[in-house]
Chain A
Amino acid sequence: MSRPSVKKSLSICFAGFLLFPAIISSPVFAEGNSAPAASEAGKALYIDKCAHCHGVEGAGDGSAADNLVPRPRDFTSGLYKIRSTESGNLPTDQDLFEVISNGMPGSSMPAWEGLLNEDERWSLVAQIKTYFEGFEGALPRVIDLSGKVPYSEESIAKGKEFYAQLGCVECHGVLGRGDGTSAPDLTDEWGFRTWPANMEHSWNYRGGSTTEDIFKRFIGGIAGSPMPAFVSSFRVGLTDAEAERIIALEDKDEMTEEEEAEYTELEEKAYEYEDLMLRIEEGDEITPEEQKKLDVAMKPIFEKSWHLANYVKSLGSEGRPPAAVGDKVLRSQYRLGELPGLNDAAWGEIEDTSYFPLVGQVIIEPRQFNPSLDSVTAKSFYNDNEVAFLFSWDDRTRTLPQQNDETGETVEDAIAIQFPVKVPTSPLDPKPYFIWGDRRLPVYLWHWKVSEANRITEMNAKGIGKVSVQASQNQIETEAVYEDGRYRLWTKRALRTDDKNDLKFEPGVFIPIAFSAWDGSNGDVNTKRAISSWYTFVLDPVPSNRRFVYPPVVALISVGVLFGLRGSVRRRESANST
């Protein structure tokens, strides 16, 4: 039987191509691979500034490495995530220089621009290259950015379609919050857990968040991570219809003779391009005609990538939102009558969402050096009797109670909202310690966990390990949902309760608030969690009716004073003149 063998060999060829780096477009070779020669000074600088993470020999095994996610780059591997070059290529010197200068947001790699001068940063580029032999004589193929599709609603809409078609959803989730079905199981080249990007938190993109940055990640892939080079999702040289046809034919149990002929023809057509790309990969010369043919075939793929880049760009924001301090403080808004429930459109009336950044709890053992939760946001309404909150936070996985593989502990997703029991009345008044209070000043906690999604447990704490669940639980109405990588938690409590261990909510009083959050899939449990500093919130006082009384009174008095003044001056003048 010849048919299956042809099909098989072509499939193997195709699979082989997938394993090989993908290729592309007219060769644009890196210009200005201009790092200076490696120097003693560069080495000394590397040892002083880089070696504690990246290791003395560049193997990514410095003394800090074990506590970092993502781990520091292993320069001996030659695998670089952030490149302007095609898949399978090394980065250009300029790429290395830019990563050193700009750092990698969302990781522990800082921006060295401003800390080291240009020559120093270039000397580091040269030093880093010494750890991988492949840099010698390498001419990486740079991704062609010339076909950029301008940012427009139309392009975004097209990109959105491709996002769904191309399987981005599997890792990055329907709305791009990094909550796809395979998100919990992703590992990098070295077997370490890795997270798909949350595209709304674009301030954490390691390689920058411009449309060009995003486009380069699509075309070049993120080496060493599960993010593939985009081109591997396509059958280069085939139209969409032809590619779909091949898949349809492959899925058939048996093909008719015509179908078999059609299949072979299509595979041969695709093979022509795959062969070309393999030859480029192996460093063979190809003719200008062949290059032109490949360029034509690549054009629609590049165009789709630009649309997709525009779409992904549209999901993000310009930088990290400002934290809820100063004029961004959480203000609970007064509302007549019933307070809105979890899915009430009324929440949309509050334009500003207060943003509370979370960081790792690295103070009390066991510590969390690599929190997976970025922040909590909150909105609030109150009326004469009750206060309602809507908290939300992005978590890529919904983790119901389960055993953690490493520690054996039972972990699950949870959050605690923390208030002092006694609200400080002046800035000099002490507050409880920001992580669960202390001996003298206890905190009042609302503890929620995913396994009891419609219940808040009221607790008091006088420090970590000194937590007590309140004997009499108030009726705190609670409702929570997890949708598209985001928890939304709604709570409602009476403003005043009889329990002296509860916080009383008084309008106009600034009340400290802080958060702890646990991502079960990140091994968070007990002290291992993400935390926030103390922030404040206030039940915004109802605008007082005094504002319609005082101003007219003041104006009337001033008119009176002016008349009085005029009268007295007049009397005196007439007395003087007589």
Chain B
Amino acid sequence: MNKRLSLFTRCLILFLLVWLFLRFFIGGVWSVPLPASVIAMYVVLILLAILVHVSVEDDRFREFLRPIKETLIDDDKKIRRIALGTLIPLVLLGFTFSKVSTKADPPAALRTAHPAPPAELKYGDKVIGLTQEVENPFRHLEKDDKEAFKAHAENGRRVYYQNCFYCHGDDLDGEGHFAHGLNPLPANFQDPGIIPNFQESFFFWRISKGGPGLPPAATPWDSAMPVWEDHLTEEEIWDVIIFLSEYTGYKPRTFGEADH
């Protein structure tokens, strides 16, 4: 008898190894569990690859099928035949049972965290275009009048700790003492992916129009972000934006940068 493992067994082992790797190594050792759908996708891919590999040549395909045939009809494989013939239906039985009787999962939340801002927004009687270069009216003070700029940042600090820190946190990290009761979670301004990725006009839009001002893809009905134009003046909003960047050290994007 051939000492080498049959082609079928080798394919089976390869297939199992790939599955184990995806399911347990990545999930367990690297601790970044893959979603079941992604695993399924890879598993189907590797299955197709194996089938293509074994079926390109007739001989190889025959060789691949040989153990299956033998198990099905050979007299000396009777034990294996009975074992597999019992096991396969039983496994299917259990699998179907578990599928039919599991509880329905609550619907997954689908949400765009940072939607594109509208072209313009109305603030009181004023229309502020957001696609043009709308700058923080006090940003220029950073160069022109450092003292005045500092005063705006200080005012922004006052506004922040009187209004925002309940949710966005003492350290602007989104971990305020109300955050545990909110879904979606408050934005974390210490996250390097937040402030540097958006222009100041974006923050002005998000602050002034709050949750209800979001487009449907961003589930405006869930967001607990207030409509701050109801509580704050325009200047206070620009000041708090200055405070966010001064405190965290992150600079909002400017319109000059490449649009990516």
Which of A's residues lie within 8 Å of B, judged by CB? Answer: 48-49, 52-53, 62-64, 67, 107-110, 112, 115, 320, 323, 325-326, 329, 331, 357-360, 362-365, 369, 426-428, 430-434, 438, 441, 508, 510, 532-534, 536, 538, 540-541, 543-544, 546-547, 550-552, 554-556, 558-559, 562, 565-566, 569-570, 573
Contact = CB atoms under 8 A, between A and B. Distances in A.
B59 to A, nearest CB: 16
Sort A-B residue pairs by CB-CB distance and give the 4 closest, nearest first. Answer: A359-B181, A357-B181, A64-B161, A52-B161
B32 interface: no
Q: Chain B contact residues (Cβ within 8 angstroms of A): what range?
A: 35 or more
B93 A569 contact: no
29 contacts: A49-B170, A49-B171, A52-B157, A53-B161, A63-B158, A110-B175, A112-B171, A325-B106, A325-B183, A359-B181, A360-B166, A428-B110, A431-B221, A441-B221, A533-B182, A534-B183, A536-B106, A547-B97, A547-B100, A547-B101, A550-B96, A550-B97, A551-B96, A555-B93, A558-B88, A559-B85, A562-B85, A569-B73, A570-B73
Given A49-B170, A438-B221, A551-B92, 13 more contacts: A49-B171, A323-B181, A359-B181, A362-B163, A363-B227, A427-B108, A510-B107, A532-B181, A533-B183, A536-B106, A547-B101, A554-B96, A569-B72
B53 interface: no
Contacts of A329: 106
Contact of A323 (B94, B173, B180): B180
Contacts of B145: none
Q: Which of B107, B109, B181, B226 has the most CB of A within 10 A?
A: B181
* Most A CB within 10 A of own CB, among B106, B108, B211, B212: B106
A362 B166 contact: yes
Contact of B178 (A110, A362, A427): A362
B162 A433 contact: no
B195 to A, nearest CB: 17
B144 to A, nearest CB: 24
B175 to A, nearest CB: 7
A575 to B, nearest CB: 13
Nearest to B110: A427
Contact of A115 (B163, B173, B177): B173
Contacts of A550: 96-97, 100
B186 to A, nearest CB: 11
B230 interface: yes
Contact of B222 (A363, A434, A562): A434
Interface in B208-224: 210-212, 216, 219-222, 224
Nearest to B225: A363
Given A369-B166, A430-B216, A554-B92, A331 B224 contact: no
Contacts of B3: none
Given A362-B226, A544-B100, A554 B93 contact: yes
B260 interface: no
A108 B92 contact: no
Interface SS of B by simple majority: helix
B165 interface: yes
A569 B103 CA distance: 41
B231 A365 contact: yes
B29 to A, nearest CB: 24
A432 B101 contact: no
Interface of B: 69, 72-73, 81, 85, 88-90, 92-94, 96-97, 100-101, 103-104, 106-110, 157-158, 160-163, 165-167, 169-171, 173, 175-178, 180-183, 210-212, 216, 219-222, 224, 226-227, 230-231, 247
A554 B98 CA distance: 13
Contact of A551 (B100, B103, B158): B100
A107 B166 CA distance: 10
A550 B173 CA distance: 51
Where chain A touches its partner, the secondary structure class is loop
B104 A566 contact: no
A49 to B, nearest CB: 8
Contact of A363 (B88, B93, B108, B224): B224
A294 B80 CA distance: 83
A415 to B, nearest CB: 16
A246 B203 CA distance: 70
Nearest to A552: B93
A357 B100 contact: no
Contacts of A326: 106
A427 B109 contact: yes
A93 B173 CA distance: 27
Given A64-B165, A431-B222, A510-B107, A108 B170 contact: yes
B94 to A, nearest CB: 8
A434 B93 contact: no
A433 B221 contact: yes
Contacts of A110: 169-171, 175, 177
B226 A363 contact: yes
B108 to A, nearest CB: 6
Nearest to B169: A110
Contact of A64 (B94, B162, B169): B162
A573 B222 contact: no
Nearest to A64: B161
B89 A556 contact: yes
B107 A536 contact: yes
A13 B245 CA distance: 60
Contacts of B89: 555-556, 558-559, 562
Contacts of A63: 157-158, 161-162
Nearest to B89: A555
Given A107-B177, A363-B224, A115 B171 contact: yes
B211 to A, nearest CB: 8
Contact of A566 (B73, B107, B162, B165): B73
Contacts of A556: 89
Most chain B CB inside 10 Å of its own CB: which residue of A53, A433, A544: A433
A56 to B, nearest CB: 11
Contacts of B173: 115
A551 B85 contact: no
A133 to B, nearest CB: 28
A316 B170 CA distance: 27
A359 B177 CA distance: 9
A566 B221 CA distance: 59
B221 A359 contact: no
Nearest to B226: A363
A320 to B, nearest CB: 7
A109 B101 CA distance: 47
Contact of A331 (B103, B110, B171, B210): B103
Contacts of B169: 110
